[in-house]
Structure 1
Amino acid sequence: MRKMSTQVKHRAVQLYDYHVWANNKYFDHLRTLPQEVCDTEITSVFSTVNQVLVHIAKADMVLLRRMRGDSHDVITAQIGEFIHRLEGQNLAAIEAEYGRTNAMYEDFLTNHSDLDQIITYEHPRLGRIDVPLVEVMQQVCNHGTYHRGNLSAMLHQLGHQGAPTDYLLYLYAMNQ
Structure 2
Amino acid sequence: MPVNEYPCGDAVHAHQHMRWQAMSAADLEKVMVLEQASHSHPWSQGNFRDSLQTPGFYLPMLLKDQRLLGYLVAMAGFEEAHLLNITVDPLLRGKGFGQCLMQVLDVWAVQHGAQQIWLEVRQSNTNAQGLYRKMGYEQVAIRKDYYPLNAQQKEHAVVMRKVLQAQAL
Fold match (TM-score > 0.5): no
Higher relative contact order (CA 8 A, sep 6+): 1
Q: TM-score, normalised by structure 2?
A: 0.25
More strand by share: 2
Q: TM-score, normalised by structure 1?
A: 0.24
More helix by share: 1
- Compare CA radii of gyration and give the structure with the larger one: 1
